[in-house]
Amino acid sequence: MIPRLKVRVGNARSKGRGVFATCQIRKGEIVEVAPIIVVIGKDERRFKKLQLINYCYNWGPRGNQTALVLGFGCLYNHSYDPNIGHSQRLKRKEMVFRALRDIAQGEELTHNYNGPPTDRSSIRFTRNSWERM
């Protein structure tokens, strides 16, 4: 039996694609456990020149590695008032996305690109990447 997905990809108006709840999601509930691919060494330098870098996260105990998050994880849009947060399972190479509050069916799921949900540092989108100011 295939479990019912809690999310779907849809049009997020001016933001392009986004991820939306297909059912009500309760605060604290896991939305997704996404596998990741760690990009290292020479590959990381090359990777940062590709548009795919826009779908990556900082990774590792110090956040100094780059990880491509698979699944819906690479499509969640940014918000300074996010409704999901994420944490790393380093040994399993997984990113866990969890509801920070109750989320209504049809609501877009967003997270803070800075990492911590309360981090209000400015981010700047450039042609091939985003970065903290």
Which position has the higher pLDDT, 129 or 81?
Answer: 81
Please, what are the domains in the chain?
7-113 (2.170.270.10)
- Mention every residue, 6+ apart, whose C-beta is less than 8 A from residue 118: 112
pLDDT in tens, 42-87: 777 787 778 777 778 889 998 888 899 999 998 999 899 999 999 9
> What integer pLDDT is reported at residue 132 of this predicted model?
45
Q: Which of 98, 60, 105 is nearest to 82 (CA)?
A: 98
> What integer pLDDT is reported at residue 3 of this predicted model?
63
Tokens standing for residue 105: 């069916």
